[in-house]
Amino acid sequence: MLTASGVALCALVCLVTVREVRREWEPYLLFGCALFFLFLTLPDVRESVAFAASLSGAAGEGCGVILRALGIAWMASAAGDLCRASGEGALAGYVEGVGRVELLVLSLPLLRDLLALAGLS
């Protein structure tokens, strides 16, 4: 976390400078920071995914669906934040809306299984 905080502060200084000098470079700097943070957390994510996969074998299909839902939510949020930071609020809303629809579609089989388990279908 110390590395991420240091990089975030450096990126903040760069962003403030870029906004004053070359505003069109701002989205590229933000995207680069997002990639850096993604690669910074990948080792931890790999361990978590391996652990979740071992649980998934015991828990059945539901655990995999939950992991996919978390991935969709994170990606939609990150893409929306990048769009919003670039001044494209409408595009951010569209991306987050698509993420919500994907989550709904992903959850429908779980809802069907829950209804079947309750004897309502």
Q: Residues 90, 39: one domain?
A: no
Residue 120 belongs to some domain of the structure: yes
For 4, the domain range is: 1-45
Query: Is 53 within the bounds of a domain?
Result: no
The 10s digit of each residue's pLDDT in 39-79 is 888 787 777 777 767 766 655 666 677 778 888 898 898 88
Residues 6+ apart with CB under 8 A from 25: 18
User: Is 9 contained in some domain?
Assistant: yes
Whole-model pTM over 0.85: no
Clarify whether residues 39 and 81 are in a common domain.
no
Residue 51 inside a domain? The answer is: no
CA 26, CA 44: separation in Å to the nearest integer?
A: 28
**Together in a domain, 108 and 65:** yes
Burial of residue 91, with CB atoms counted within 10 A of its CB: 0-12 exposed, 13-18 middle, 19 or more buried: middle
Q: How many domains would you assign to the chain?
A: 2
